[in-house]
Each structure stands twice: as C-alpha cells, then as structure tokens.
Amino acid sequence: MAEDYDKALPLFEEALKNVPEASRGLLLRRCRLALAALHEKMNQPEKVEALYQEWIKDPSSPMEAEMARRELLRYWQRAGKLDAAVAKYEAALKEKADDKPALEMLGLIYSSVKPDPQRALAVAEKLVELQPQDRGAAMQLLSAYEQAAKYEKAIELVSKLTERFPEEADPLPFRLAYLYVRSGQKERVSRVTSNQAGPGG
C-alpha cells in the first residue's frame, strides 16, 4: 500500500501544478483535497498543513480560502491537534489584537467547530472593525449575532446590509423576517414579506 502511495504522489503533485486556467476552481480544489488526503495517509502532517496553508492564501476567492480553513480544521480534529491550534491562535491575538489570520480561524472555530457564541461574536466584531467594507465579515457578524441571540443588533445589521448591497440577490428580507420571529416581533413579518413580493405579488 505504501508503494502505491509513493507512486500516486508525484502524479497528484504534477496534476496540481498543471491544472488548466479555465477549470482552476473545481479541478484545483479536487487536486488539493486528493493530495492532502494522500499526505495524511502517508503520515506526513507537515505536508498536509503546508498544503492547506497555501490554499488559504490563494487569492482566487474568499470562498476558497474559507473552504481551505474548514478543511484544515477538520484535519486538526482528526489528528487531535485542534486544542493546540486554538491555543496558538489565542496567543497570537494576545501578541497582536488585529491578527487577521488568527481572527479568521478562531471565528470559524467558535462559530462551528467548537461553538462558543460569545467568543465567536467578539471575533466577528473585531473582523468587521478591521475591514468595515467587507461583506463577508459583515455576514459573519450577522451569524454571530444570531448565535448569541442578539436579535435587535442582527435586525439593525440586516437593514444596513440591505442599504449597502441593494443589488445583491441574497434573501436578506427573509433573514429579516426570521429575525423578527425569533425576537418575538411576528407582527412585523408580514410587512417584510409583502414588501418583498412587490406590487405584482
């Protein structure tokens, strides 16, 4: 089996280097995941982590970076390294409160991997402070408000996002309706949904 891995490794490495530009998105992602899985089976943790860290720095899209962070966290969970990673990122923040990579990783950890609504909220607020025009950071803050049951703040943020991104197709009005229900303001839901339906609805 080890011999098979040794044979497969250079093939995947070559494929990763030569992914056609036109199909870089999905194909590149598959190559990275396959290569990371191979390194993991070969018990090469430093190569697994290096591959994910390189993927996180890929400027192709914020979504790809987010996916890479999630995959790295899953790997750390499997390898029993998650607690050490949390300690490392928390220490980085004590050294430098605006350490964006550390904030991004901790935000993901506290919002999904090891849920802690209050810590997730603190991280999300700091990220928005660092990048006030970033829509992704604002949406992360919105989710953090919801998880922490701070519905009034979430409602206020949805209103701001609707004004700032009127061209976006995201269902912000439906998110607003959900928040009204969660906050006990059901009488305001019909107003939101009727506005969304428009004159012909």
- Give this prediction's pTM: 0.76
Name the residue ranges covered by the structural domains of the chain.
2-79, 82-149, 153-201
Domain 82-149 is of which CATH architecture? Answer: Alpha Horseshoe (1.25)
Contact 154, 139 (CB under 8 A): no
pLDDT of residue 118: 96
Q: What are phi and psi of 79, to 5 degrees?
A: -90, 0
Q: How confident is the model at residue 184 (pLDDT cuts 50, 70, 90)?
A: confident
In terms of Cα–Cα distance, which of 153, 124, 117 is closest to 139? 124
Give the whole-angstrom CA distance, residue 26 versus residue 23.
7
Give the pair of three-digit tokens for residue 126: 């700091």
If you average pLDDT over residues 80-97, what whole number do you get?
96
Give the whole-angstrom CA distance, residue 128 versus residue 21.
33
Give the model confidence (pLDDT) of 28-53 as tens digits.
888 889 889 989 999 999 999 999 99
Q: How confident is the model at residue 124 (pLDDT cuts 50, 70, 90)?
A: very high
pLDDT of residue 64: 84
Place of tokens 């829509």: 135
pLDDT at 1 over 80: no
pLDDT of residue 200: 45
In terms of Cα–Cα distance, which of 142, 150, 154, 140 is closest to 106? 140
Q: Compare 127 and 165 and report the one with higher pLDDT.
A: 127
Q: Compare 80 and 167 and report the one with higher pLDDT.
A: 80
Give the whole-angstrom CA distance, residue 10 versus residue 24.
19
Q: Compare 138 and 164 and report the one with higher pLDDT.
A: 138
DSSP-assigned letter for residue 170 = S
Place of tokens 């009488």: 187
